Chain A
Amino acid sequence: MFDRLSFPQPWLSLILFATWQILSDGVSGGSVVLGLILAWVIPQITHGFWPERPAFVKTWRMPVYILRVLKDIIVASFSVAWLILSPRTPRPAFISYPLTLDHPLAISILASTISLTPGTVSADVSDDNQTLLIHALDAGSDQEVIDAIYNSYEKPLMEMFK
């Protein structure tokens, strides 16, 4: 019975509450009450969609990672802009990337990062979570792309999720 009254995911509830305060015009009594109700109801309804709790170990590393990714996004858009505007046709390639991460949340963060950074879009994850299919817009060699992703994104993520 008391299960129903608890917040199964405190972080999700907190983010929902804060987002609701931002969306409504200023903090007022009504927005706080409605925000609390939403922060309670939404995690209860979506409970079944979260197979396991996200297991962050070193949360404080996240801001550093996000800053690095933001910097890479800007660099990435310049290189993609250059490829789009240059007259030569790029050399696209499909690359299978061997994953060392095993946590589903970590894999989805890695896939999103890959999609936003230099010349690569993640296309699919194999059913056994072992390989990631990447489409590169202009690949030198497969190994170069794999090494670059491993060193700049997968290593920091592994440290966060171990």
Chain B
Amino acid sequence: MSPFAEYAISALLLFGGAFTLIGAIGLARLPDFYTRLHGPTKATTVGVGAIMLSSVIYFSAMGEDIGISEILITVFLLMTAPVSANMLAKAAMHIGVKTVEGTDGKPWEQ
């Protein structure tokens, strides 16, 4: 394997792991449900995407076919993350989950 591919794979792996961890820290640390929603939808999606990309590069550097299923999983996660976040936000507004103090504006009553 060429040294360039090794550097690229290692960097992408560490980047992905760090972002997955940051998303989870956000989920554990932020004060209310609506702010917690931000960590998983963005940081975790990007983190898993980077890990997938490193897997694609790794297996093509090993001389196998280009990994289409990895790309398919990444595209699927990118498409579904906003939908599930939206559904959960709607459910939370329906139940009336409390917002943290200092939040501007209010969720709707529908």
Contacts and interface: CB of A to CB of B under 8 A. Distances in A.
A92 B35 contact: yes
A53 interface: no
A115 B103 contact: no
Interface in A27-81: 73-74, 76-77, 80-81
Contact of B35 (A23, A123, A137): A137
21 contacts: A22-B68, A23-B69, A76-B42, A77-B47, A81-B19, A81-B22, A83-B38, A85-B22, A89-B31, A92-B102, A92-B104, A93-B104, A94-B104, A115-B86, A116-B45, A121-B82, A121-B85, A123-B93, A124-B110, A135-B37, A137-B38
Contacts of B45: 73, 77, 116
A124 B109 CA distance: 11
Nearest to B104: A93
Contacts of B38: 80, 83, 119, 121, 137
Interface residues of A, number: 38
Interface of A: 19, 22-23, 73-74, 76-77, 80-81, 83-85, 89-96, 111-116, 119, 121-124, 126-127, 133, 135, 137, 139, 142
B40 to A, nearest CB: 10
Interface string B79-110: 10111011001100100000110111111101
A92 B107 contact: no
Contact of B89 (A74, A77, A80, A124): A124
A123 B92 CA distance: 10
Contacts of B93: 123-124
B103 A126 contact: no
B78 A116 contact: yes
